[in-house]
Amino acid sequence: MPTTYPKCSPSEMTGLLVLLDSHKGDEDVARLADDLDLEIDEILPSLDYAEVLGFVQVDDGRATLTDTGRRLLAGTIRERKAVVREQLRRTTLFRTLMRALENSPEHRLTDAQLMRLVEFTTAPSDEVVQNIVNWGRYAELFRYDSDDHLVVAIRRAAPPRSPPTAASSPSSTGTAASPAARTSGRTPPRAESRMIAVA
């Protein structure tokens, strides 16, 4: 996937895609700019970012929605974020950034470290870094600590597992059955005595 990072927000890019969709997914770029009462240069960052993420194809001054772009527009807010996250991970910069976050001992990067990553793919500047942070936060690839100026990995928790514990109330026989024993209708006394001893 190409690696360019024009400055635009997720809402600006999505707004352009919605407009393109209203033109049946295929329209001259100049017409899109005219509909927004903007100059062509003013919509190019959003158009370029949409192309980088595979949401549109631009050929000879004409923009066309891709299947991925249509999938984005058809989704809920949560689903749209998931599609953007998926596409960002395909870019050189975000793939490198996420690998660096995962390999960092504390799963975090300073602004300076992020700047060094940006240098590999585009001309570094504070605006470029802020733009990358905005997109990463939108797609929930990471969060940003503005007080300490840190990009922090989002740790996606595994489904909770409930360890077996002794029942809080005794059974009719005076012993508390384990979950497995309750399921089978039997109470293994040795296992139960071990659980009580641990508790």
pLDDT tens for residues 150-170?
888 887 555 556 555 554 444
* Strand blocks (E) in 66-177: 108-110, 142-145, 150-153
What is the DSSP annotation of 145-182?
ETTTTEEEE---PPPP-------SS--TTSSPPPHHHH
- Provide the 10 A C-beta neighbour count for residue 31: 15
Helix (H, G, I), strand (E, B) or coil at 56: strand
Torsion of CA 113, 55, 29, 133, to 10 degrees: -20
pLDDT, tens digit, 9 for 90 and up, residues 94-127: 888 888 888 888 888 888 888 877 776 555 555 6
Diameter of the chain measured on Cα atoms: 83
Q: In the CATH scheme, what is the code of domain 10-74?
A: 1.10.10.10
User: 10-74 with 91-153: one CATH topology?
Assistant: yes
More confident residue, 114 or 12: 12
Please give the class, per CATH, of domain 91-153.
mainly alpha
Where exactly are the structural domains of the chain? 10-74, 91-153
Q: Any long-range contacts for 163-166 (C-beta under 8 Å, 24+ apart)?
A: 164/195, 165/195, 165/199, 166/192, 166/195, 166/196, 166/199
Q: Is the pTM of this model over 0.85?
A: no
Distance CA 33, CA 108 (A): 39
